[in-house]
């Protein structure tokens, strides 16, 4: 890993360490978040899976509820007015057809003002793609350079920074990172001590290839409506 990448990775981990611990939030001008995200497949996606004999089941800490899937938010943060930020989730989904299967897990939703939003995912057992995570988080730092500098300064003295650095590295080393979906029609409904964040998901090219591999045929393409997501988030502390 190049020196620049290592420094960027360390900065990301230090930022997460501060935000998730809730320290000096007022100074950093960011908001640490917790909560859950519910993903509901679109009728088109559900029909496609049924037509091609592909089943979907939650893995890890994810659960199936009322035709959708619920993922606990492992940690997250947002800039003022929630115009940019990140939500990292626990659990995942397993797609299966006969003896073929694929798991996508540890979803990370990243929204950057002026640059759109994506949903990243990890495919365990494979390698590569960590630059996607670093690039997405770098966009956040570039938009908020003073905040990032302030956060890094405080995080140097925060217990647990090393553990979170290892966690970020483990995310990159524990599987291939892909763009699972593009997030569109982003919405926000303020609620007591938090908000309800909504988005439509459009299948990425990487995810389409993964699904087609499980299905055993080229039956879906990038841009297909994957479903909707609702994140019920609340402020930590």
For the stretch 139-184, pLDDT in tens is 545 445 555 555 455 445 444 445 545 555 566 676 788 889 999 9
SS (H, E, C) the chain: CCHHHHHHHHHHHHHHHHHHHCCCHHHHCEEEEEEEEEEEECHHHHHHHHHCCCEEEEECCCEEECCEEEEEEEEEEEEHHHCCEEEEECCEEEEEECCEEEEEEEEEEEEECCCEEEEEEEEECCCCCHHHHHHHHHHHHHHCHHHHHHHHHHHCCCCCHHHHHHHHHHHHHCEEEEEEEEEEEEEEEEECCEEEEEEEEEECHHHHHHHHHHHCCCCCCCCCEEEEEEEEEEECC
For the ranges 2-11, 46-55, 122-131, 192-201, the lowest mean pLDDT is seen at: 2-11
Region 49-69: mean pLDDT is 94
User: Residue 81: what pLDDT?
Assistant: 53
Confidence of residue 28 (pLDDT cuts 50, 70, 90): very low
Confidence of residue 191 (pLDDT cuts 50, 70, 90): confident
What pLDDT, on a 0 to 100 scale, did the predictor assign at position 125? 79
pLDDT one-digit tens code per residue, 65-81 = 999 999 998 877 776 55
Q: Is the pLDDT of residue 222 over 80?
A: yes
**What pLDDT was estimated at residue 42?**
95
The percent of residues in the chain predicted with pLDDT above 90, rounded, is 38
Out of 8-17, 24-33, 168-177, 181-190, pick the least confident. 8-17
pLDDT of residue 227: 96
pLDDT at 153: 53
User: Is residue 217 pLDDT above 80, yes or no?
Assistant: yes
């Amino acid at each position: 890993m190049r020196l620049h990448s290592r420094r960027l990775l360390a900065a990301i981990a230090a930022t997460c360490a501060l935000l998730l611990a809730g320290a000096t939030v007022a100074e950093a001008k960011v908001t640490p978040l917790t909560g859950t995200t519910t993903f509901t497949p679109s009728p088109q996606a559900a029909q496609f899976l049924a037509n091609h004999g592909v089943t979907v089941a939650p893995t890890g800490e994810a659960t199936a509820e009322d035709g959708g899937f619920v993922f606990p938010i492992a940690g997250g943060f947002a800039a003022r007015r929630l115009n940019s930020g990140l939500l990292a989730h626990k659990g995942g989904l397993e797609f299966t057809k006969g003896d073929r299967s694929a798991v996508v897990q540890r979803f990370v939703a990243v929204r950057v003002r002026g640059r759109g939003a994506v949903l990243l995912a990890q495919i365990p057992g494979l390698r590569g793609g960590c630059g996607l995570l670093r690039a997405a988080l770098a966009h956040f730092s570039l938009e908020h350079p003073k905040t990032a500098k302030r956060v890094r300064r405080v995080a140097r003295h925060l217990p647990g920074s090393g553990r979170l650095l290892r966690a970020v590295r483990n995310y990159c080393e524990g599987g291939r990172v892909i763009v699972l979906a593009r997030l569109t029609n982003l919405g926000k409904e303020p609620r007591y001590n938090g908000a309800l964040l909504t988005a439509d998901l459009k299948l990425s090219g990487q995810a389409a290839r993964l699904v087609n591999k499980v299905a055993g045929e080229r039956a879906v393409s990038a841009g297909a409506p994957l479903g909707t997501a609702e994140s019920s988030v609340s402020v930590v502390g």
